[in-house]
Copies of this chain bind each other. A is one copy, B any other.
Amino acid sequence: VLVDVGKRSGKHSAAQRFINRRLIHAARQYNTVVRLKGGDPMMFGRAQEEIDALHAAGIEVEVVPGITAALAAAAQSRISLTARGTSRHVSFVTPAVGNGEAASDWTEAACAADTAVLYMAARHASQHAQTLMQAGRVSTTPVLYVEAAGTAKRRQHCCTLADVALGALDSIQGDGPGLIMMGAAYQRALEQHKSITQHRDDNDANASEYRQVHG
């Protein structure tokens, strides 16, 4: 028996209270019920609400850890979240708030850590980048944007925080959930990206010159 209560980036999903009730109902009906989530359930996964609801109903719970998006993105990009000397702490933050929830002050945690990873932030990326720059994160901070981390559809883009504030991610966003990672850890990736872009622009310039001459 498979029941889909799936969440999709930006799409309407089943209310948490409904999911909790559904889980308790299923647990009373079957010996073993698996609640499958993407990423790691204990990191922005609303696991606590489900665990608490099940405990309150006297149902035993085992939690199996998973690969949270930031770790999947790090592995695929081959850029470590931490590195000696340059990135010695990491924060996982979300500016997203649930219905009826007060906006949290997420900027302090995102500014204080060498590497900051923003979950569920891609949709309003430019606004969040502006907020971060106002809070003190420098505009030249390298950003690695990773979409659909951990899947074969993964795409990534490198730019600065100022670029994000100016809308750099708005045009390239697809359907998958996007992760905004930032900090000195991505400095080298940014430089490589720039030199590739520069190289391509030079080639394009040469090509159009060529076309002008020979076209």
Q: Report if A108 contacts B (CB, 8 A).
A: yes
- Nearest B residue to A150, CB-CB: B65
Which residues, 64 to 101 on A, are CB-close (under 8 Å) to B? Answer: 64-68, 71-72, 74-76, 78-85, 88-94, 98, 101
Most chain B beta-carbon neighbours within 10 Å: one of A45, A49, A84, A94: A84
Q: Report if A167 contacts B (CB, 8 A).
A: no
Most chain B beta-carbon neighbours within 10 Å: one of A74, A79, A89, A90: A89
Q: Report if A47 contacts B (CB, 8 A).
A: yes
Chain A residues with CB under 8 Å of chain B are: 40-49, 51, 61, 63-68, 71-72, 74-76, 78-85, 88-94, 98, 101, 104, 106, 108-114, 150
- Give the residues in chain B near A61, CB-CB below 8 Å: 78
CB–CB B80/A75 < 8 A: no
CB–CB A90/B46 < 8 A: no
CB–CB A83/B48 < 8 A: yes
Shortest CB-to-CB span from A177 to chain B, Å, is 16
Shortest CB-to-CB span from A144 to chain B, Å, is 12
CB–CB A89/B90 < 8 A: no
- Give the residues in chain B near A45, CB-CB below 8 Å: 80, 82
- Give the residues in chain B near A65, CB-CB below 8 Å: 67, 71-72, 74-75, 150
CB < 8 Å neighbour of A90 from B81, B84, B92, B98: B92
**Once the chains are docked, how many angstroms separate the CA of A51 from the CA of B90?**
19
CB–CB B81/A106 < 8 A: no
